[in-house]
Amino acid sequence: MRHRGLVGLGVAALIALPWILSQGLLNASIQMLIAALFACAYNLLSGQAGMLSFGHAAYFGVGAFGTVHAMNAFRGAGLLPTPLLPVAGAVAGLIIGAIVGWFATQRTGPYFAMITLAIAELLHSLAPHLRGLFGGEAGVSTMRMPSLGLTFGSTTQVYILVLAWVLASLLALYLYMLTPVGRLTLGLRENAHRLRFLGYNVHNLSVLVFSVSAMFSGIAGSLQVINNEAANYVVFDSSVSASVVLNTYIGGVRVFLGPALGAALMTFFGYAVSDLTQSWLLYQGIVFALVMVFMPSGLAGLFEKSESLHRRFGAAPLAPFFAFALGAAVLIIAGAVFVVELMQRMFSQDYRALATTARPWPPIPLFGRQWSPTSPETWLVPVVSIGVGAACVFLARHVLFKLQDRQESRVSATPFNQH
């Protein structure tokens, strides 16, 4: 691991959080940690083994329900002491993962993707009918039991528990990549066909990887139930499967912690703006699509590229490039958000009711001002913002090309300059 110092610092910061953050933010941090683990578990299968699953909510949900029932066992005393509850999620995830994996890995590529989606949808449509298991509309609720002298009543204690399990799981996932099976997992992605001709049973291997990924997803689901003290069948919804896919690839699958980064960031933004907008999933989808087209290695890849640019050109010459890039990002995002939020309000039921009766159309309050949807000034704002942002993109690229040209001409002009 190249950034050992950075990771150590990060872990220390995470441990210190309960003494720095408010309860609300601490709760958000718990969700960020859980999403990060789920994304890394997912990435084991899709980024590292090359098997794209679109129904991973199934294993997260199975872990959740396995845990909630374990917590309620023995009339609430629980099958396991609270700190060990995620084991229930792990076992549930592992078993279901092995069964589903056996079926799903009979096919590859798009077939595999479709099968994983169908399984999750199967669970989602079956769950409300099986009240005993999934609790119907209301779901199943439970309570955390005290253990080891701790009540687990406060957010801080739950945070520490979640942090411990997430760090342990991430470490396990990282060490997994250093084992023979871990390397074989990469071989699966690169050329499963050739592995057969080297004597490996590719189906068995695939089932193994699938099960491990499902196991850690189950742990993530388990942690969510421990935090929320409830499990509901909406955990099998396709939006949960979609989220983990979006988070993982936005973060970047080439770097081990990339998915964790993407998940943490997206979860944080989702939490921060959930009161401000109804269109968060739209933004997430757009970001994902843009990342896939323009930044295939994700945000983590972006950091790596910036690092290598920094090494190549130095900080000072790059300053205008970063300034333009940042400006472009801010302006384009601002313009896009403005348009989406305006239209969100324009097309809402309330406004449409208003608009049919009142002419001209009443102004829409947004960002502290009133905007009239029929006046051109309103639409000029995002157009200008995005336009200037696009100009900044060109300027940034121009700066970069000039730097590259200068460096190349310097290199080719050194035959007589010995350093």
Partner 1 sequence: MNNAILTIRNLRKSFQQHEIIRGVNLDVMADERHAFIGPNGAGKSTVFNLISGNLTPTSGEITFCGQRIDGMPPQDINRLGLARSFQITNIFPRLTVFENVRLAVARAHRSQYNFWSFIDRAPRIREHTERLLEQVRLERRMSAIAGEMTYSEQRSLEIALALALDPKVILLDEPMAGMSSEETLYMAEFIRAITRGRALLIVEHDMKVVFSITDRISVLVYGEVIATGKPDEIRNNAKVKEAYLGEEVAR
Partner 2 sequence: MDTLVVSLLNGVIYGLLLFMVSAGLTLVFGMMGVLNFAHASFYMLGAYFAYALQGTLGFWAALLVSTLIVGAVGVIVERFVLRRVHHHGHAHELLLTFGLSVVIAELVKLFFGNYPVNYRVPKSLDFAAFAIGTSEYPFYRLLMGGVAIAMFMLIYLLLTRTRVGIVVRSAIYRPRMAEALGHNVPLVFMGVFGVGAALAGLAGAVAGAFYTTNPNMAIELGVVVFVVVVIGGLGSLEGAMLASLLIGVITSLAVGVDASLADLLGLVGARSWAEHAGGLLTLKLSSLAGTIPFALMLLILLVRPSGLLGGKA
Distance CA 333, CA 336 (A): 5
Q: Which does 187 bind (CB under 5 to 8 A by kind): partner 2, partner 1, none?
A: partner 1
- Taking the C-alpha atoms of residue 249 and residue 291, their distance in angstroms, rounded to an integer, is 8
Q: Under rule CB under 8 A, which residues in 142-181 are in contact with partner 1?
A: 175-176, 178-181
Which of 52, 73, 99, 186 is close enough to bind partner 1 by CB under 8 A?
Answer: 186
State the nearest-atom distance from the C-beta of 109 to partner 1, in Å.
17
Kind plus residue range of the DSSP H or E element containing 141: strand 140-141
Residue 244 binding target from partner 1, partner 2, none, CB below 5 to 8 Å by type: none
For residue 231, which phi and psi values (nearest 5 degrees)? -135, 135
Query: Closest CB to partner 2 among 227 and 267?
Result: 267
CA distance 123 to 55: 10
Q: How far apart are CA 39 and CA 244, in angstroms?
A: 6
Q: Identify the CA nearest to 116 among candidates 129, 125, 130, 105.
A: 105
Contacts with partner 1: how many residues (CB under 8 A)? 26
What residue has token string 């010995």?
418
Of 10-18, 161-169, 340-348, 411-419: span binding partner 2 (CB under 8 A): 340-348
List, in sequence order, the alpha helices (H) in 108-257. 109-126, 131-134, 155-176, 180-197, 202-228, 238-251
Tokens of 186: 């990469």
User: Which residues, 6 or more positions from 45, have their beta carbon under 8 angstroms from its beta carbon?
Assistant: 51, 53, 56, 209, 210, 213
> Is 205 near partner 1 (CB under 8 A)?
yes
Residue 33 vs 209, nearer CB to partner 1? 209
Q: Which of 3, 129, 196, 402 binds partner 2 (CB under 8 A)?
A: 129
Q: Does the protein bind partner 1 through residue 280 (CB under 8 A)?
A: no
The type of residue at 52 is: L
Q: Which is nearer to partner 2, 4 or 193 (CB)?
A: 193
10 Å CB burial of residue 99 (0-12, 13-18, 19+) is middle
Binding window for partner 1 (CB under 8 A); candidates: 68-76, 97-105, 191-199, 312-320: 191-199
For residue 289, the partner it binds in partner 1, partner 2, none, with Cβ less than 5 to 8 A by kind, is partner 2
Q: Which residue in the set 10, 296, 360, 365 belongs to the binding site for partner 2 (CB under 8 A)?
A: 296
Q: Binding of partner 2 at residue 113 (CB under 8 A)?
A: yes
- Helix/strand/coil for 369: strand
Instruction: Please say whether the beta carbons of 299 and 258 come within 8 A.
Output: yes
Mapped to the 3 state alphabet, what secondary structure does 81-93 carry? CHHHCHHHHHHHH
By a kind-dependent CB cut-off of 5 to 8 A, residue 110 interacts, out of partner 1, partner 2, none, with partner 2
Q: How far apart are CA 63 and CA 140, in angstroms?
A: 13
Q: Are 220 and 62 in contact (CB under 8 A)?
A: no
CB of 279 to partner 2, least distance (A): 6
Question: What DSSP string runs through 217-257?
Answer: HHHHHHHHHHHHSEE-GGGGSHHHHHHHHHHHHHH-SSSTT
**At 414, which amino acid appears?**
T
| Position 246 contacts partner 2 (CB under 8 A) | yes
Pairing outcome for strands 230-231 and 369-371: unpaired
Upper half-sphere CA count for residue 270 (Cβ side, 13 Å): 19
Q: Is residue 293 a contact residue for partner 2 (CB under 8 A)?
A: yes
Q: According to CB under 8 A, which residues from 52 to 91 bind partner 1?
A: none
Q: Is 249 in the site for partner 2 (CB under 8 A)?
A: yes
Residue 195 binds what, of partner 1, partner 2, none (CB under 5 to 8 Å, by partner type)? partner 1
Q: How far is the CB of 300 from partner 2 (least distance, A)?
A: 16
* Cα separation, 134 vs 348, whole angstroms: 34
Q: Which of 347, 367, 394, 401 binds partner 2 (CB under 8 A)?
A: 347
The answer to whether residue 353 forms part of the interface with partner 2 (CB under 8 A) is: no
**From the CB of 343, what's the least distance to partner 2, in Å?**
6
Please report, as residue ranges, which positions from 7 to 66 form the binding site for partner 2 (by CB under 8 A). 50, 52, 54
Task: Determine, following the binding rule CB under 8 A, whether residue 284 of this chain makes contact with partner 2.
Answer: yes
Q: Does 168 bind partner 2 (CB under 8 A)?
A: no
Tell whether residue 175 is a contact of partner 2 (CB under 8 A): no
Binding site for partner 1 (CB under 8 A): 175-176, 178-184, 186-187, 190-191, 193-202, 204-205, 208
Q: Which residues make up the interface to partner 2 (CB under 8 A)?
A: 50, 52, 54, 103, 106-111, 113-115, 117-119, 121-122, 125-126, 129-130, 132-133, 238, 242, 245-246, 249, 279, 281-282, 284-286, 288-289, 292-293, 296, 340, 343-344, 347-349
